[in-house]
Amino acid sequence: MRHDSSSPPGPAGNPVPGRPRRQGGRRQGLAARLGSWSTRHRGTAIAGWLLFVVLAAVAGGMAGVAEVSTSESETGDSARATRILEDAGIEEPAGEMVMVAGGTRDGWRPVAREVAEAVEATGEVRGVRPPVPSEDGTAALLNFQMKGDPETAGERVQPVVDAVEKVRAAHRGEGVELHQYGQASADKWLGEMLSDDFAKAEWTAVPLALGILLVAFGALVAALLPVALAVTAFVAANGLLALASHQLHIFDTTSSVMLLMGLAVGIDYCLFYLRRERDERAAGRDAETALRVAAATSGRAVLVSGLTVMVAMAGLFLSGLLMFEGFAVAVILVVLIAMLGSVTILPALLSLLGDRVERGRLPWRRRSGGAARHGRKAASVRESGGVSAAVLRPVLAAPGVFAVLATVAMLALAAPALGIRTEQLALDKQMPSESPLRISSEAISDTFPGGPAPARVVVKTRDAEAPAVRQALADFTRQARADGSFGRDVKTAVHSGPDVVQVLVPLAGDGSDAASKAAVDKLRDSLVPRTLEPVAEDSKAYVGGETASSMDFNDQLGRGIVPVLLFITAVTFLLMLVCFRSLPVAAASVVLNLLSVGAAYGVMTAVFQHGWGAELLGTEAVGAIESWMPLFVLVVLFGLSMDYHVFVVSRIREAHDRGAETKDAIREGVRATAGAVTGAAVIMVAVFAVFGTLSMQDMQQMGVGLAVAVLLDATVVRMVLLPAVMTLLGERNWYLPRWLRRLPDPEGGGPIPFAGSGAGGSAAHGAAGPVPHAGGGHGESSGRPPVPAGRR
């Protein structure tokens, strides 16, 4: 093979055979160009970032957040039924109830009178009905309604709650129990709980992440940079989300999800970039060269990872559910801003700070004089080589055995997911068991057992008063009462103005079991079409209500999860194929991600459905997984897993392209990234774990599921499975069929912009000249002969 003197420098500054230099030199990648611009114009970059964050936050605050309406939160026939009522201006007032338990038969009567008088005196209620006694006569249920808009009843229910509490306090110690529950009190509790949880997540996650970074970097300034970038990215994204919500209405939990993703991703991206810059300084580079190498390598990995997360989240638009579309917009915004901040504002700040980034060092890690500068190299080697070397040694020695063992372990964790049961969790299941509202709800349900919330049949007619309509309603009521699938208390409301008819039909079962679902199916498939649809304006009557809404939501999820899964797997495969120009690496990315997702499903099912280890995690089993959780976790993990995958495989490929054998490249790549990956994983797990401690059951499931999945992904997958599989593949890791070699190369030729091997030549040239070695974090050449181009 001819050795061309015009080839780019190899491991020791010598040309690498088989790699002819392109005419006109090699262009810098986007990350390198952004980093170079930011360091040259750091004042403009920093001022521009701060101005952007302030303007986004102010604009969002002025615009406010537009939340979803009831009909927008539903789908299918239940959404159509609700939309007819909304369009007609028909609102059900917010109902409230107070149970008075007197301890003895009829002992509740004087207290019930006091409650009725107290709530009426507030001026906020109407329609106080006579108390309904329980079967044993020891308790009674007082029903009334809140005045005004039911959507804002929770904001006006406090005087009513205070009135009930005043009566409760007056009879404390007399054996009298008062329990209040209803739409208004539930909305009030939910709003306060979400506000408290959001504050708890913010004030816990941020200091926790800062503490972890302080330990990882050993310097206060270095630790503050990732947190500052993540927080400002979230603030800006939150403002932009408020603006976007006026086009795409969002749920009230969307900001919490965005905070979770913003902290995890923003800190990780900054950590990867900053860690590489410090490694290069430890290897003897000057500050300018170290920043250029970090921009060309870790900066590129951040761009690829961020793009993968955003594209994966875009798959949620295929779900057909507004809830997921809002989540997608929120996560895409915060990831985009965090990603751009990592490759622009971060290099500008590092260039401005210089060695001052080491200020505020922990006392036990403080060094002095030249030892501080030259000792970092040895420290970097120790930090990245201790535990990872001990784990890698047996894995690389017996890759087949460890690949099988790790796969079996992941499949065992995923096994409980085979029996996963999903449902839209009712509010009482969402609440903690010790919350006063849930205690009141369960006490009322136990004393006054009744069926689930009734099905709501809505019919838009041409004339609601027409004889044909009245006859159809009579036929429907008669047949429903005669059918054992429904209760006898069928209620009909005819609204002659908008010509809308509303029928409430009690259902058999508990609202989520097979009996209730069968009853809804019978309404939709036979009873309603046979009796009411002939008089409907569009020949269609719609069945809504809580049970029907949950069924429609689950049906849409079932239809949406397949296209979403196909989309994100295909896109992830193609992105990895273009990024690494390797068919095996791209395929392994998808398979390893699916293993992590499966393990997350299994752990969530075991903990929250079966209750295995729930008490140890400070949570409780509710017998099911929130219906939107599997799809959301799938998409988020596919995106987040790319953080580690791109970062680790990039360093492996970098070492390989410098001339290292595949096994040595794997060892060097994993050991060089072990510190950064471990730090990033600990931060992600900590942030997600904070959400696992919140009050709402769905937030707990999301936090625990994502925390476990990230932990497994960063340990079992990246430390065992990935190196084992790549060792087994050997040189086949870098196989790319001839017909795929026309794929676009984002860096202008070759997979990674490595300093000192062509791509890094342009990224790392400067006053210091070409960088002989920028990849391993050890600052030494592998000493092995160059690898001919044909082996790739």
Count of domains forming the chain: 4
Predicted local distance difference test score (pLDDT) of residue 382: 42
pLDDT tens digits, residue range 697-738?
Answer: 888 898 899 898 889 988 899 889 999 999 999 989 988 888
What is the domain extent for residue 511? Answer: 434-550
Distance CA 335, CA 313 (A): 10
Q: Of 534, 550, 566, which closes a domain?
A: 550
What is the DSSP secondary structure assignment for residue 628, as one 8-state letter? Answer: T
Q: Are residues 442 and 327 in the same domain?
A: no
Check residue 443 and give its pLDDT: 85
Position 412: which residue type?
A
What CATH number is attached to the domain comprising 542?
A: 3.30.70.100
Taking the chain (792 residues) in runs of 10, the rounded mean pLDDT of each run is: 39 38 53 89 93 95 87 86 88 87 83 92 90 87 88 90 92 87 87 79 81 85 90 94 91 81 85 86 86 88 87 88 89 94 92 86 57 44 61 91 95 94 81 84 78 83 90 92 85 88 86 84 92 87 89 88 90 87 90 91 94 85 88 85 83 88 90 84 86 85 89 89 93 87 59 37 35 37 37 37
Report the alpha-carbon distance of residue 591 to residue 262 in Å, rounded.
Answer: 26
Provide the β-strand partners of residue 641. none
Which CATH number goes with the domain that contains 105?
3.30.70.260
Whether residue 767 is contained in a domain is answered as no
Residues 636 and 613 in one domain: yes
Write out the two tokens for 433.
């068991």
Question: Which CATH number characterizes residue 701's domain?
Answer: 1.20.1640.10
* Inside any domain, residue 586: yes
Q: Are residues 441 and 485 in the same domain?
A: yes
Q: Do 746 and 607 share a domain, yes or no?
A: yes
Torsion of CA 150, 152, 158, 160, to 10 degrees: -20
Which helix (DSSP H) or strand (DSSP E) does residue 423 occupy? strand 422-423
Residue 714 lies in a domain: yes
Asked whether residue 685 is domain-assigned, the answer is yes
Residue 84 domain-assigned? no
14 in a structural domain: no
pLDDT at 786: 38
> What angle (nearest 5°) sits at the alpha carbon of residue 683, between those of residues 682 and 685?
65
Q: Both 358 and 262 in a single domain?
A: yes
Q: Judge whether 233 lies within some domain.
A: yes
Cβ distance 451 to 487 under 8 Å? yes
Q: Do residues 438 and 418 both lie within one domain? A: no
Instruction: Kindly state whether residues 440 and 526 are assigned to the same domain.
Output: yes
Do 329 and 400 reside in the same domain of the chain? no
Task: Tell me how crowded residue 381 is: count the other CB atoms within 10 A of its CB.
Answer: 20
Residue holding tokens 């205690």?
439
Cα–Cα distance, 87 to 624 (Å, whole number): 35
Q: 530, 550, 570 — which closes off a domain?
A: 550
Looking at the fold, whether 495 and 637 belong to one and the same domain comes out as no
> What local confidence, expressed as pLDDT, does residue 340 receive?
93
466 and 504 in a single domain? The answer is: yes
User: Are 444 and 528 within one domain?
Assistant: yes
**411 and 447 part of one domain:** no
Domain-embedded: residue 384: no
